[in-house]
Each structure stands twice: as C-alpha cells, then as structure tokens.
Structure 1
Amino acid sequence: MKETLFDAVVIGAGPAGVSAALDLMRGGARIAVIDRQAFPRQKACAGGLSDGTLRLLKYDPAPAIRVQVSAMQVSHCFNQPVTAVAQRPVFAMTRRSEFDELGFRAVEATGCPLFICPGPHTVTQDAQRVTIRYRDFTLHSRYVVAADGAGSPTRRQLIHENTRLQALSIEADVDAEHVFADAAAPTWVDFGVVPGGYAWVFPKGDHVNVGLYTSSSRFAAGINRRNLYAYANKVLGTQRLTEIRGFPLGIDCTGSRMSSGRALFAGDAGGFAHAHTGEGIYGAVLTGQLVAAAILADLDVAQTYRQSAARMLSRCRLARVLSKPLYGSLSLTYPLFARYISSQVDKAGKRT
C-alpha cells in the first residue's frame, strides 16, 4: 500500500465512529475507518434511540426501527407501577446489529476506505502524526478518533489507568411467540431488581429484549445469567432466552481524558454514557460529531473538542452524582419519582 497521510483515522464503526466519519467525509477530510468485525455483527446493547439521538443522526434510521415508544411503565421491585405517556414517540427501538449495519453502510456509501481487522493494533504518535499498525498494514494520520468502545484498546495504550469507572449490563432476546399473553405489557423499567440499577423489558415486534443494568461495577455480581433468567421467567413467563450478552458502559468522561496527544476519544471509549440510565448512543453520536467538527476546524483540536463537549461533560458528571442517591435510597427516591410521573399524567392526561 502506498503511504497516505490521512487527516484522521477512525477506529470503531459504531455510532460514535460512524458519526465522526460521516461529518469528516462531508467536510472534505481524507479519512479511513477501521473495525474489528464485518457487518452485520452482534452488538450488546438494548438498542433504544432517544428523541435527541434521532434528531442528531445524519442518515435515516427508519429501516432499523422496530417499534416507536410513547408509553413506558416504571416500578420499584414490581410494586408501585406508574405508566408515563408522551404526546408523541420519544424512543425508537432497534435491534442494535441492524442499526449499526445501517450506519456502516452510510459510511461505505461515501467512498471512505474501510478496513475490517480482527487482530490487535498499536498506536504511536509524535508531534506531527499518529501511526496505527495492524499485522498486515500501517496507516499514518494527523489525528486518530478512538471510538472502539468501553474496553477501547486504543485508550488503554495511550492513557495508562489501572481501572475505569464503568456500568454493566446483561441482556437477551425472547421470541415474541414464547412470551405468555399477559406479558404483552408496555415498555417496562423496574428499579431495584438488581443492586444499583434496574431491569427492563423492551418489546420489539417479533421479539422482546430483556436485561439488567447496574450503574456501578461494585454490583457486578448481580449482573449474571441466573438473575436474568429469573427476571425473564417472572415478567415474560419463559426462560427461552437467545443471544445472551453482557457489556460494560463507559461512564467516566472528564475533560482531561477526552484526548491524549493527537488521539481523541468518543462514545464509550471516552466514557460518555449516562450513569443513571445507562443510555450511551446519544453521547456516542454527539461526541462523534463534535470530534469531527474539532478536526475540521484544525485549531487546537483537543481544546476545541473539550470546549464543544462541555455541556455533555456536565450532564455526564451530574448523572454520576445522581446515580448514587437514586439507586442507594430507592425506598425514598422512587416514591418521589413515581409521584412526579403521576402528577404529570394527572394534570395533562399525557406526559410530554
């Protein structure tokens, strides 16, 4: 391969990497995108797209949307259920493998060079450029966008840290035909089923996605197959789970760890998931776009990225702070939350 100096190499073709790549290509940058797996690929994620995420996306997600959600039931350990109803859909449910492939194909359509490399890579840099080495080839770039997930190998090489602050989830799918009739409930989130978090049921047409989430790795012992099977059996009447997968979520974003030299971290690699909810796709799409804008501006790129992401950093910081009292005192915090939801429904008939 003839040596090419790219403006940016994007490592990871999930929502953060795709968002960065699309904006960089449209801005006229010379880039390449690398991922470890061919698409479609299985990805551990509940696959919910918030209203904010849908507004940010630069491609049509409709082919990947299974269900539009405008009502959600919340409860505390199966008690005190409250249903919140919005005036319009506020979440779109996707199967994550389908959503990711849609984004990958959008990048592919731009003509951007794409590499599928399952093996490990090394990243080195100097004051002028970054070098990314795989077994079969080497790429040189002015910047690298690390969008390779909560376990980011790129981040581990460039930021030497013993541990990361992470949340944890486990989930599975259940064919709709295996769910007993009484379980045809709305989208459901049940707080306190596992320590430090919640359980969920997300209907998606031909299947139901069920999972457990904890906001702190301190409670990792509760995120296991046995508890997932028990929860599915209680709420869906079946233990016929398929595609069980567990995954960490990066929730440790700070201004000082958004970059390292010419490497910029986006999405879970940068820790931009919200600790109190575990929602990370919005942060991935947003930070991918902010990284691209900073590189295209080409003026103190790392500082530009930090400044443009200041609001997102504040939101994530607040989410980390709120998650501790929220999940640490659910006997007190859930009734307040349920009362608030009830008051909104009672006043307007629908919660906006």
Structure 2
Amino acid sequence: MRPITYSRAPDTDTAIAAVSSDPTSDFLAGGTTEVDLLRQNVLTPRRLVDINDLPLTGIEATPAGGLRIGSLARMSEVAAAPVVRERFPVIAQALELGASAQLRNMASMGGNLLQRVRCSYFRDAESPCNKREPGTGCSAIEGFSRGHAVLGTSEHCIATHPSDVAVALMALDATVHTQGAEGERSYAIDDFFLLPGNTPHREHPMAHGELITAIEVPAAPVARKSLYLKVRDRESYEFALASVAVALSLVDDTVADVRVALGGVATKPWRARRAEDFLIGAVAERVNFEQAARVELIEARPTAMNAFKVELARRAIVRALETLAGNGSPA
C-alpha cells in the first residue's frame, strides 16, 4: 500500500494553494474516477485535498437567459434542475445517460469534464501508453481498438473521451471557468479539451492546482429543441460507441440554426462544424441529413477493428436530426 495524506479544504483559496504547491497532490470531489485510478495504480498522488466543502454547487439561470453550473454540483442535481430541463434538455439527457443513478448522485460536474479515458491500455498500469507515460507508445494502435476514436487521432493516441455531458456542452458553446495560483481564467469549451497530437498526456490547458469553479452555457433558443442520442453495447451503464448532441431550429422546413457534437468517436468531445455549415439553409430532409453526416466523417481515420464507428456515427447524426425535425424516432 502507498501512504496517502488526506486533508479537507475549508475554502477555495486554501484548496488551490495546497495543490498548487505540491506536484504530488490532487483535488478530490466525487471520487468516482480518482478512486478507481488510485486502486489501479494509474494515478499515484501522495496527497488528496477534499474540496467538497467549497461553495461551488449552484445551478442557476443567468440574467441573459443562459445557465451557470457550479463545478461541485452533482450530475443528478443538474439533470433534475427545472431550468436545465426546460432550456437545455440535451444536457439533462446526456447526464441521465452518462452513468448509473448511484454514480450520478456522487459525481461532480467538474470531475466529469476531467475524467480520464477508458482505454484499457491506459488503465492497466502496465502496457505502453503515451497518456500515462509519455514516449512509451500507444498499445491500442496495433492492439484491441474496437472502442477507440476515429476522429482527432494521432500516431501517439487514439483513445476516446468518455464524457457524455461534455458532448452536449460542446454543442452549446459552453465556457469553463477556473481559478488557480495565477488567478481566474475562462476557456471556451472547444479549447478546454486538447487533441492528443504529440502530447497526449496533456488533455487540458490548465496548470497543476488550477480548479474548475463553474461551467457557463450561453443563452441559446435553439437548445429548447434538443436531444442526446447514445448508441452503446448495452442499455444500462455503458460508454458510448457513438453519440450525438443535436439542437435544431426550423423555419418553413428549412434549417435556421443547428448545433451538432459527437461523442464516443473522437479523442475529445467533437463539434461537428462541417455538418452544421452544410445544414444551415438546407431543407430539413433525410437526404440532406445524410450528406451532412458524410461531410463530417470524411476525415475519419478508423482502425480495422473500429471502422464500423464511421457508419454508426453517420446514422446517429441522421436519426437525431430526423427525430428533432419530426420525421424520425429516437428509438
């Protein structure tokens, strides 16, 4: 057993100072990922700083019609909040499909965004893995890769990002607010998640000891008509093979506004901007939805084992758009 020091921070400044000053320390919130990785010897901190007493649990509408979520708000609380269900149903759906009820009651929103990849090579603590030990190689590229990414990959990593709600937040142009030793910062969510490139061990731009304090979603009338579609091997408590967050606004059967983001198929929550650009001004019909999906997946780089994900993602996009347009079913 490795000894681990535990302390409970009374306020945000104390928590940040404690972790920033010690490179072997980590924050502890819900612990639903941290504790698993500690047990597997994937993470090896010598100190855990419990932040659950910090006043970062609010869920409130902003004056402009958006949403501000404290980083320590639990997934279940956010999914059940009336303002979320009314204005941003895609967020509530992604949260409810993202984990079991027990985990949703424990897991924090900030922790969900920071959860580590589910690649078995990363989590076995033995196989070469550039995320865990930079420069050792990526075992998945020549190994078992059925669940891995087809978009945003590099020769150094093909692991998928596991979060569901991050996909919905990506579609809605959320902002992640943080506080660290150098003060407060804000990141557009597309910048908050980094592609693996040559540095797959760097998943976020934050410094050590920088703490997520809130997630802000801007007002988006299009989000009132939105959904999250998740395709997985089993119905209960499973990570996505492919998922899609979609919001759609039509005027006379023509697409006036649309947001699309993909999960389960990319190394980060993937904003489908090519599909969006194709759809704006197009008639809301299957042939256009199919073409938009093809355009988005044109740069997919699958392995032999996960090539099926390309077609699966295309079909998920089409089904979600048809459902919102009123000529399809989410089932």
Answer yes or no: same fold by TM over 0.5: no
Which has the larger Rg? 1
Name the TM tier (shorter chain).
under 0.3
TM-score by length of 1: 0.25
